[in-house]
Amino acid sequence: MNVNYNPASVFNQDVDFTFYLIFIISILCLVGITGFMIFSVIKYSRKNNPTPSNLEGHTGLEIVWTIIPTILVMFIFYFGMQGFLKMRNVPEDAMEIKVDAGMWWWKFTYPNGLEQNTAQGLTVPADTPIYLPLHSVDVIHSFYIPAFRVKMDVVPKAAGAKDNYTWFEASQIGDFDLFCAEYCGLNHAQMITKVHVLTKPDYQAWLEEQSAGFIKQQAENPGLALITSKACFACHSSDGTKLVGPSFKGLYGKTEVVVTNGEEREITVDDAYLKTAIMEPSKDIVKGYQPLMPPMPLTADEVQAIIDHIKELSE
Amino acid sequence: METSPSQSYLNSHTSPKWTGGFMSWFMSTDHKRIGVMYAVAMFSFFFVAVLLGFVMKLQKMYPASSGWEIIPVELYGSFFTLHAIIMIFLFIVPGAPAVLGNFFLPLQIGAKDVAFPRVNLLSFWLYLLGAIMAVVGILLGGADTGWTFTPPYSINTKTISIFGVVFDSISWMLTAAFILGWGTILTGINFIVTIHRMRAKGMGYFKMPLFTWSIYATSWLQVLATPVVGITLLMIVIERIMPVGFFDPSKGGDPILFQHLFWIYSHPAVYIMILPSMGLVSEIIPTNSQKPIFGYKSIAIASCSIAGVGYLLWAHHMFTTGMSDFAAILFSFLTFFVAIPTAIKTFNWTATLYKGSITLTPAMLFALAFIFNFSIGGLTGMFLGSLSTDIHLHDTAFVVAHFHYTMFGGAAFGLIGGVFHYFPKMFGKMYSMKWAKAAFAFMFIGFNALYFPMLVLGYYGMPRRYHTYPDMPIFNDLQMASTLGSWILVTGVIMVFGVWIHALIKGKQTTEINPWNSSTLEWQTATPPTLFNFEEDVEITRDPYDYEAFRGEVKAGTSAGAKNV
């Protein structure tokens, strides 16, 4: 696991400078206040100072401790704003990688159409600004790379409304954690992936290799390509492991108990059942699972390709 | 003022019909009894929520890879939601105004009761109804939306039925919060009218004790802010049961609009939570220093400016939602202006100690701990008010630690200190000083051991509301430290309750009118107070914290002072 907190992106310097500025001011304040409290409690204890003064206030002091904090917080505001404006202004030559988020997966789409999922992570070249439009297919998620000091909510938008965005420029080679930072349901804490920062030549090599494999897979096994692209593997395994939803392995032809409108019934998994399960997932819920799957907007051909692949996995 | 016990409010009744047992409390319109009932209900809920927090901390003791699981992930979401709903809506929002405000506001201003005693009882009933609905709702159906009910998650999510019963607990809890809101609004109106109309002769606004001032500022916030959240929560209920889309983007709504409406209430609400405890600290410190509070007027005005400015900051909870950059900058700028009155208050309390004659009673220890914890809470707030640092720290353990430093280390420590301060006056019983101080030590050390590591965790990027976390040395060590701290803290909380319950049952009976030698009016009446608080009409001639004049009165025998002075 990588816990490298050297400046990993172009934002670290601004954010960390502001952080340490506030930190120093805070420590001075806290030590001052606490020190004075301890001093007074000892020096002016009932035993040491039986006759209290009747001091009611001091206008000069009040003015001083109104003006000094005002000046300090305005400095803090200014530096915080500077760093923020940098985060909001995307350089024009930035490379675009689309981010899609759903419960509970990430998908990264590269300019050439290559898609990467949660298990693969986000691979980017170093020293290159990356522009990331953030699209959510269900609820609010938050795209957070602590090492880069980058965070932006991934908010589902009404038709026609503009998606949120963020950008970064990685300045260090390595693997960094990418978290979902906004509570998004049961597996929120599993919505974690990695950012792999490569040198520019390494990235080019990686991109060519991955894209070739991706195109090959789409041609040879469109079902698997769709399952990967739609992030089905976030909840359904292909090796028999029970995740949020039932595994694809050995699914076709299996007898399952499903709950339909609150009533249990036994079915055999066939083409017709799988079609309903994909298009109207909340209709029949396999017993022992939660009704969590969103409906998948797919064409009839695409559904058939997925069903064919599930068949293959059951042979 | 000699009292016979039969005249105490504990033995006299507002209604001839209900003169004994449970109903003599439940039907009583006496502000003192209502205050005590709130205390019993609120601290019971508080204890339940503490235990929920304790289990959540236990869950975080080891990272995901260890296979450690105290509660399954399905329950974890319900746990943090219930913890927050109880702590916020059932404990800290009613908080000090409901318990000590009800009991002492009329006493501090020389009134016989609040302006509308029956409405006051109605507020309590609404509180109980809402509280029971919220707790029953979540126990039956579970809900993992968090207390913020953020849509579209809160609209789309099917409630997880724990016992196999399908039950829309989210709508149920939203309705509960709506009902609780009514209780709060009525209490606010009641206190505002009481303060406007019922002050004793001679008590101008700037002769009111500072706890009264803080209740006054709080009440305005309650009346003006609560309706916004009430309506907003109902809109979510409507979206859940009808096909309309205020906030659901798939129906053309805007989920960010909800966050604006929610925080328009919920940001002022944090001042509803903290201001009354600031008021209590402003009582405890001068009493135990035996000198006037430093800068009385600036503290009173600061209370009101906090309430006023606090209204204009809500969107600083939303810097990462993608709202316009201009709005983000504006709200960050305004946020820093609430830091100033807060700083002024802190400096004034600290300066009050200068040349005092200080006794470290349990209440004083809690008040000084309030200043320390709340300073950390306020200072860490600057990291979150500043834009670029907030982008990094938002929705991490840093935020969780920050608001616990203000709400628990601040507001709750102030309230517990306030209860220790007023306990003998309320019940005519004295607690064990030794055990109270020991309980304080456990709470203070445990609190900081629990929450300070979380500040560091947040800096290293630990997101909040995670059932489990990736295995990294820095996460593992700090989580472990935090969990160990929670054990010390829970011990302290249990000790505090132990001290109180022991005192109520076996504590030394006392009729001493003014055990801490305080100069304010509430200490000039019988212990425990009689049904109508004062035997004769009161007239105010001096400032509330003029200790020199107070000592003169004690010598002349016109004012009550502690017997040992």
Of A15, A73, A80, the CB nearest to B339: A73
Q: What is the pLDDT of residue B161?
A: 53
| Low-confidence stretches of chain B (pLDDT beneath 50) | 1-6, 564-565
How far CA B551 is from CA of B109, B542, B543, B546, in Å, comes to 20, 12, 13, 9
Residue A226: per-residue pLDDT: 86
From CA A223, how far away is CA B107, in angstroms rounded?
76
Which helix H or strand E contains A204, and what residues bound it?
Answer: helix A200-220
The predicted pLDDT at position A2 comes to: 44
Between positions 150 and 209 of A, the ones with CB within 8 A of B are 150-153, 155-159, 161, 164-165, 177, 179-189, 192
Q: Chain B: give the shortest CA distance to residue A244, in Å.
A: 11
The pLDDT value recorded for residue B565 is 41
**How many Å apart are CA B328 and CA B321, to the nearest integer?**
10
| Interface membership of B472 toward A (CB under 8 Å) | yes
Q: Which residues of A touch B251 (CB under 8 A)?
A: 158
Indicate the domain borders of chain A. 12-88, 95-220, 224-313
> Does domain A95-220 match CATH 2.40.100.20?
no
pLDDT reported for residue A237: 85
Please state, in angstroms and rounded to a whole number, the distance separating the CA atoms of residues B388 and A14: 8
Q: Which amino acid is at A87?
A: M
Using a CB-CB cut-off of 8 Å, the residues of chain A touching B249 are 155-158, 161
Residues of A in contact with B344 (CB under 8 A): 62, 65-66, 69
Q: Is some CB atom of chain A closer than 8 A to the CB atom of B391? A: yes
Predicted local distance difference test score (pLDDT) of residue A6: 64
Number of domains in chain B: 1
Helix axes A200-220, A222-229, angle to 10 degrees: 130
Residues of B with CB below 8 A from A293's CB?
Answer: none
CA distance A153 to chain B (A): 5
pLDDT of residue B159: 63
In B, residues 394-413, which contact A (CB 8 Å cutoff)?
394-396
Half-sphere exposure of A286 (CA within 13 A, CB side): 19
**How remote is the C-alpha of B522 from its chain's centroid?**
21
Q: Does A71 touch chain B (CB under 8 A)?
A: no
Cα of A11 to nearest chain B Cα, Å = 9
Fold classified for A224-313:
Cytochrome Bc1 Complex; Chain D, domain 2 (1.10.760)
DSSP code, position A31:
H
Judge whether B562 lies within some domain.
Answer: no
Residues 6+ apart with CB under 8 A from B298: A57, A62, B344, B348
Residue B530 is classified by DSSP as B
Cβ pair B332:A187 closer than 8 A: no
Q: Do B391 and A66 touch (CB under 8 A)?
A: no
Spatial separation of the C-alpha atoms in residues B116 and B95, rounded to whole Å: 20
Q: What is the pTM of this model?
A: 0.92
Give the span between the Cα atoms of B80 and B163, in whole angstroms: 19
- Taking an 8 Å cut-off on Cβ atoms, the answer to whether B298 and A62 are in contact is yes
Q: Structure tokens of A185?
A: 């349901």
- Return the CATH number at B474: 1.20.210.10
Tell me: cis bond preceding A104? Omega within 30 of 0 counts: yes
- Give the amino acid at B118: R
The answer to whether the beta carbons of residues B77 and A186 sit under 8 Å apart is yes
Concatenated DSSP letters of A129-193 = EEEEEEEESSS-EEEEEGGGTEEEEE----TTPPPEEEEEEB-S-EEEEEEE-S--STTGGG--E
Q: A-contacting residues of B 310-369, CB under 8 Å? A: 319-322, 325, 328-329, 332-333, 336-337, 339-340, 343-344, 346-348, 350-351, 353-360, 368
Owning domain of residue B185? 6-556
Count of other CB atoms within 10 angstroms of residue B196: 11
Strand, coil or helix: what is B356?
A: coil
- A window 25-64, beta carbon within 8 A of B: 25-26, 29-30, 33-34, 36-37, 40-41, 44-46, 49-58, 61-62
**How far lies A6's CA from each of A3, A11, B82, B130, B453, in Å?**
9, 12, 39, 50, 21
Retrieve residue A304's tokens.
């058939």
| Cis omega (within 30 of 0) for bond into B528 | yes
In this predicted complex, what is the ipTM?
A: 0.92
Amino acid in the structure at residue B152? P
CB contact under 8 A, A77 and B325: no
Rounded CA-CA distance A210/A203 in Å is 10
The pLDDT score that the predictor gives to residue B439 is: 98
Contacting residues for B490 by C-beta, under 8 A, at least 6 apart: B50, B51, B54, B446
Predicted local confidence at residue B156, as pLDDT = 78
A 77-136 near B (Cβ less than 8 A): 77, 79-88
Q: Write down the pLDDT at residue B13.
A: 86
* Residue B477 at interface with chain A, using a CB cutoff of 8 Å: no
Which residue bears the tokens 């909840």? Answer: A235
Q: Which of A56, A70, A82 to mutate to test the interface with B (most CBs of B within 10 A)?
A: A56
Which letter does DSSP use for residue A101 in this model?
Answer: E
* Closest-CA distance of chain B to residue A295, Å: 13
Closest Cα in chain B, distance from residue A36 (Å): 7
In this structure, is residue B563 part of a structural domain? no
CA B353 to chain A, closest CA, distance in angstroms equals: 6
Within 8 A by CB and 6+ apart from B38, the residues are B94, B98, B99, B102, B124, B127
3-state secondary structure at position B9: coil
Q: In this complex, do A34 and B375 lie within 8 Å of one another by their Cβ atoms?
A: yes
Distance (Å) from the C-alpha of residue B347 to the closest C-alpha of chain A? 8
The topology under which CATH files domain A12-88 is Helix Hairpins (1.10.287)
Residues of B in contact with A195 (CB under 8 A): none
Residue B283 lies in a domain: yes
**Going residue by residue through chain A (315 aa), what tens digit of pLDDT does each one get?**
344 456 799 999 999 999 999 999 999 999 999 999 999 999 999 999 999 999 999 999 999 999 999 999 999 999 999 999 999 999 999 999 999 999 999 999 999 999 999 989 999 999 999 999 999 999 999 999 999 999 999 999 998 899 999 999 999 999 999 999 999 998 999 999 999 999 999 999 999 999 998 888 888 888 888 888 888 888 888 888 888 888 888 888 888 888 887 788 888 888 888 888 888 888 888 888 877 787 777 888 888 988 888 888 877
